[in-house]
Amino acid sequence: MKNEQAEVALPLIRRGRDQNLARLLVMLGVVFALMAVLRPEQFVTPANFGSMMRQFPEYGIMAIGVSLTMITGGIDLGVVGTANLSAILAAKLMFAAVPRGAPPEQALPYLALAVLVALACGLACGAFAGLLISRFEIPAILATLGTQQLYTGIAIGITNGRPQSGLPLLYSKIGNTEFFGLFPLSFLVFLVVAVGIAFLLSSSRFGMYLYMLGTNSKAALYAGLGNTSILIRTYMLSGLLSSVAGLIMMARANSAKAEYGAPYTLQCVLIAVLGGIDPSGGFGKIVGVTLAIFILQFLSSGLNMFNNISNFYRDVIWGGVLILVLVFNRLLSQRAERRAARRGE
């Protein structure tokens, strides 16, 4: 009786999937060791770590958004468009409201308002995608390909395609604050997002709904989960995270532009898949996604240190890694199924 209680007390902690985490940790270690050995004087330096910490939060936060939608069995290819559109709206508002050279105490309320507008824009962008996917039953991959194009198009339209620079100094000052002289604000935002979303997925009702809906949307319908509302909320969350990423990008570049971060879309999908999010939905954890973000950042920063590897090869590498990971995961799950079948006998 006591034993049984103890056993059933932790039923929500999933076993078996942790193999994936172990694999990712090994991969992270291997990539790190490789770079450290090949480029010791460049890779293992405080400067490099500082720059990596400033680079990954923007796409890392979008990758977490993409991961959420993939857990529901969908995908969000509109994250970059949402990020840029949100940032541009915020920039426009700042230009309009804050006179050049205004003192901080005058600028601050408008900056806060601009941030809120950006976040609201992210929510709205996500809600629209979610509506297309849930109410109109458009496959997520097509719906968000459309929204990506749409949001980017609107952003180009508003700005005539020109970068929006000359933001109030205060914005980039706040955006590039370093805590303890080490951690950029964007890194801390990423940590809060990652921990918060991980907790949401593992411990909330909404999190469990996401996994269940992603596993079998028909059964979710019959269990009364309210599929439409769950999907819309998921894409809103992804949109919100995208707008946060957009604000970070704007702080780093000290400007906003409709076409910033175009390669991030594929990178986010790659991170999600590498991190163990099941592309057909229902499984995956944020811990894995976070490790995948680190792996990619190490790879990316490391590759920069090889002068003979042109940036043009980057797409080949990312595309190749994505396909390899997909094939590898498929093979692994086939093996797991065969094992389960044998054990069942």
Partner 1 sequence: MASTVLKLEGIEKSFGGVRALKGVDLEIGAGEIHCLAGENGSGKSTLIKVISGVHEPDAGWIEIGGRRFTQLSPIEAISLGVQVIYQDFSVFPNLTVMENLALNMELMDKRAFMNYRRARSIASRAVAQIGFDVDLDERVENLSVADRQLIAISRALLQNSKLIIMDEPTSALTKKEVKSLFSLIKELQSRGISILFVSHKLDEVFEISERYTILRSGENVAKGSTTELDHRAFAFHMTGREFSAESYRPAGPRGEPILSVRGVSLRGCYSGISFDLAPGEILGITGLLGSGRTELVETLFGITQPDSGTIEVRGLPAKIRSVKDAIRKGLGYVPSDRLTEGLFLPQAIDRNAVIAVLDRLSNGFGFLRRKAVAETTLRWIRELSIATKDPSLPVRTLSGGNQQKVVLARWLANDLSVLILNGPTMGVDIGSKYDIHALMRKLASEGLAIIIVSDDLPEVLACASRIIVMREGAFVRELDPASTTESVLGELSTGVA
Cα 165 from Cα 174, distance rounded (Å): 16
Q: Which stretch binds partner 1 (CB under 8 A): 51-59, 114-122, 198-206, 250-258?
A: 198-206
Our CB check for partner 1 shows the closer of 14 and 173 to be: 14
Query: Residues 57 to 86: which contact partner 1 by CB under 8 A?
Result: none
Our CB check for partner 1 shows the closer of 221 and 316 to be: 221
Q: Is 216 in the site for partner 1 (CB under 8 A)?
A: yes
Q: Which residues contact 287 (CB under 8 A, 6 or more apart)?
A: 21, 198
Q: What does the buried/exposed string (b/e) look like for 245-278 if buried means 16 or more CB atoms within 10 Å of the residue's CB?
A: bbbbbbbbbbbbbbebbeebbebbbbbbbbbbbb
Q: Which stretch binds partner 1 (CB under 8 A): 41-49, 135-143, 165-173, 335-343?
A: 335-343
Binding-site member from 46, 101, 103, 224 for partner 1 (CB under 8 A):
224
Amino acid at 252: R
Q: Is 282 in the site for partner 1 (CB under 8 A)?
A: yes
Mask for 283-312, x = binds partner 1 (CB under 8 A): x-----------------------------
Our CB check for partner 1 shows the closer of 208 and 322 to be: 208
SS (H, E, C) 315-341: HHHHHHHHHHHHHHHHHHHHHHHHHHH
Our CB check for partner 1 shows the closer of 208 and 305 to be: 208
**Is 272 strand, coil or helix?**
helix
Q: Is 19 in the site for partner 1 (CB under 8 A)?
A: no
Our CB check for partner 1 shows the closer of 22 and 341 to be: 341
Our CB check for partner 1 shows the closer of 39 and 233 to be: 233
Our CB check for partner 1 shows the closer of 100 and 218 to be: 218
CB of 343 to partner 1, least distance (A): 8
Binding-site member from 43, 56, 187, 211 for partner 1 (CB under 8 A):
211
Binding-site member from 12, 46, 103, 136 for partner 1 (CB under 8 A):
12
CB of 134 to partner 1, least distance (A): 13
- Kindly report the backbone phi and psi dihedral angles of residue 255, in degrees, each rounded to the nearest multiple of 5, phi listed first: -165, 170
Cα 306 from Cα 276, distance rounded (Å): 29
Amino acid at 213: L
CB of 288 to partner 1, least distance (A): 17
Q: Is 204 in the site for partner 1 (CB under 8 A)?
A: yes
Long-range contacts of 306-309 (CB under 8 A, 24+ apart): 306/38, 306/39
Mask for 100-129, x = binds partner 1 (CB under 8 A): ------------------------------
Q: What is the DSSP letter of 50?
A: H
Inter-residue contact 98 to 106 (CB < 8 Å): yes
Q: Is 318 in the site for partner 1 (CB under 8 A)?
A: no
- Kindly report the backbone phi and psi dihedral angles of residue 326, in degrees, each rounded to the nearest multiple of 5, phi listed first: -60, -45
Our CB check for partner 1 shows the closer of 13 and 22 to be: 13
Cα Rg of the chain, angstroms: 21
CA distances to 84, 236, 342 from 150, in Å: 12, 16, 50
Cα 62 from Cα 68, distance rounded (Å): 10
List of residues contacting partner 1 (CB under 8 A)? 4-5, 7-15, 203-206, 208-209, 211-212, 215-216, 218-226, 282-283, 340-341, 343-345
